[in-house]
Structure 1
Amino acid sequence: MRLLIIEENAIIGEDLELSALDLGFREIMRAHDEAAAIEMARAHPPDLIVCDVRLGASTPGVRAVNEILHHGPAAIVFLTGLLPGNEIVVDDAGVAMLGKPFNTRGLREAISRTTTKPAGSYVQVVIR
């Protein structure tokens, strides 16, 4: 399974990669912004995307994810500081949200609860 991590914070990105390795992932790509993520996904389509809800101050992570989904299917886990650490919320469409800070167990659970979105899908992020 090919994983794409989209996280602008280098420390959190490294932590995600280490957690993914602990979970058995061997094909891991990391992008720090929307443009890099889209380029990587076009070259090597991911099966799973773990993406920060906010990529920097003004770029929503969902925008990058939706562009990637335009070209192929993937399961989605969004990371957010708007939920308590390790809390998981899964919407009706099977998109998981994982609260920061998280640990490997929380990431594993979020991944197990998400479902693959077909190519051409569109996802939204709504936190109430």
Structure 2
Amino acid sequence: MTAMAKGDFTAEIAKMLPYLRRYARALTGSQSSGDQYAVATLEAILADGNIFDRQLDTRTALFKVFHSIWTSTGAPIGSETEDGNGVESQAQKHLSRLTQNTREALLLHTIEELTMSQIAEVMKITADEAESLVDIAYREMGQALSGRVMIIEDEAIIAVDLEAIVAEMGHQITGVARTADAARDLARKEKPDLILSDIHLADNSSGIDAVNDILGDLGDMPVIFITAYPERLLTGEGPEPAFLISKPYAPEQVRSAVSQAMFFASTETLKV
């Protein structure tokens, strides 16, 4: 491989890395656990470049290496506590009852927007099997948990759309806040089980600041952030969101992220 070719290859990997990190942390429910798997993936490629399938597009090939490592370690769920009585422990019990490989297929299809053929390459299965896993995941996760969801979103059309998607899943909407101050007030009136938040709000306030304040007041709960520029939040500098949806989003992405987030008691949030 020439120096130029090697440089191009490195640049291609770097471009896809934020999406691998997003997937890894959504899969494990933890920034630290997810990033450990992302680092292990890069180290494996550096140690043996032949494991990277250059006949595939860069993103699919990168995720395929990740999955070889993920499955070789038993596909553990990212629990960093041993508290058998905690909510996170209960989440692990829910996850352990899901059909094997369903969460992986669902996240790859909905959040990362891979086709069934690409998922098949990543997971070393057929496209039909990939589609079946996604269908099973929707059924199993849809039946698993329901709760109270607060939405922080300043665009009325998007807020209404999110309300409809979440309500159809069987969750209760505690309300919609358009600003950081309104979000803080709404959370105090009725504590949510999950927060779905935009980053930039109507009065130029920050959804990130609002979420961090709410968690500081009310304790940990799952959080999903929505942004048009997810790669800007996955920089590797400081705490970052474990659940992140890109704008414009598809309803399937929201449903998948909400189902995933509800399994985890604590979601690391971005502090800026």
**TM-score > 0.5 by shorter chain:** yes
Q: Distance in 2 between matches of 1:20 and 1:30?
A: 12
Say whether 1:16 aligns with 2:162: yes
Identity, in percent, stands at 31
User: What CA deviation, in whole Å up to 9, does each residue of 1:16-37 have, x standing for no partner?
Assistant: 0011111111243111111111
Q: TM-score, normalised to structure 2's length?
A: 0.39
2:266 paired residue number: 117
> Going by fraction, where is strand more abundant, 1 or 2?
1
Q: Which has the larger radius of gyration?
A: 2
What is the TM-score of this pair, normalised by structure 1?
0.79
Deviates more, 1:20-29 or 1:58-67: 20-29
Of 194, 211, 214 in structure 2, the residue corresponding to residue 48 of structure 1 is 194
**Equivalent residue, structure 1, for 2:223:** 76
Alignment root-mean-square deviation, CA: 2.7
Structure 1 outlier segments of 4+, above 6 Å: 91-94
Q: Comparing both chains, which one has the higher relative contact order based on Cα–Cα distances under 8 Å and sequence gaps of 6 or more?
A: 1
Q: Which residue identity does 2:266 align to in structure 1?
A: K
Are 1:8 and 1:31, in contact at CA under 8 Å, matched by a contact in 2?
A: yes
The change in CA–CA distance for 1:48 and 1:58 in structure 2 (over 3 A counts) is: same
- Find the counterpart in structure 1 of residue 251 from structure 2: 104
| 1:32–1:58 CA distance, 2 compared to 1 (3 A) | closer
Distance in 2 between residues matched to 1:26 and 1:19, nearest whole Å: 11
Distance (whole Å) between structure 2 residues aligned to residue 83 and residue 95 of structure 1? 11
Question: Is 1:26 aligned to residue 172 of structure 2?
Answer: yes
Return 5+ residue gaps in structure 2 as ranges.
1-146
**Cα offset, 1:107, TM superposition:** 0.6
- Of Structure 1 and Structure 2, which has the larger fraction of its residues in helix? 2
Indicate if the aligned counterparts of 1:83 and 1:99 stay in contact, CA closer than 8 A: yes
- Structure 1 residue 111 displacement after superposition: 1.9
